[in-house]
Amino acid sequence: MELIALLSSGEGTWAQVSGLMSHAEWDKIILVGDTNAKDFTHAKKFEFIRVDLNGKLKELKEEFSKKLQGKFDGMEVTCSIASGNGKEHMALISALINLPIGIRFAALTKDGVFDL
């Protein structure tokens, strides 16, 4: 399974993404975020895609769509939106659906990785 995760403001939320990356086996990991998120590091290999999270909803969705086109090998992706706000979440989810690709949500809990 492939993982896509949003890295937005609030570096405390990055721990959720980092934990999710560590506690499951991923075929591919793609992280999307703005310029600040480029400083994120992790022991596991990942691809970082920079986006302008300050844009309007429609522009952000279009940027996600353009930059994510052709990035996934499977028909479904696991998505983490533990970081970010509603506008960013809507833009990412809309872009993924319109690729088209199926979406599963996952979060790291005290009991391990939880598929939603």
d(CA 18, CA 3): 12
* Residue 16: CATH number of its domain: 3.40.50.2000
Q: 81-103, pLDDT tens digit by residue? A: 988 899 999 999 999 999 999 99
Residue 74 C-beta-side C-alpha neighbours within 13 Å: 14
- Give which of 112, 106, 111 is closest to 2, Cα–Cα: 106
3-state secondary structure of 67: helix
More confident residue, 87 or 110: 87
pLDDT value at residue 111 = 87
Enter the tokens of residue 58: 């429609």
Domain count of the fold of the chain: 1
What ranges make up the beta strands (E) of the chain? 2-7, 28-33, 47-50, 76-80, 102-109, 112-115
Please give the C-alpha separations between residue 4 and each of 7, 107, 111, in angstroms, as whole numbers: 10, 12, 21
Can you give the residue range of the structural domain that contains 52?
Answer: 2-115
**Model pTM?**
0.92
pLDDT beyond 70 at 10: no
Other CB atoms within 10 A of residue 62 CB: 16
pLDDT value at residue 11 = 60
Q: 31-51, pLDDT tens digit by residue? A: 999 998 988 999 999 999 999
pLDDT value at residue 66 = 98
Q: 50-79, pLDDT tens digit by residue? A: 999 999 999 999 999 999 999 999 999 999
pLDDT value at residue 1 = 93
- DSSP structure class, residue 81: -
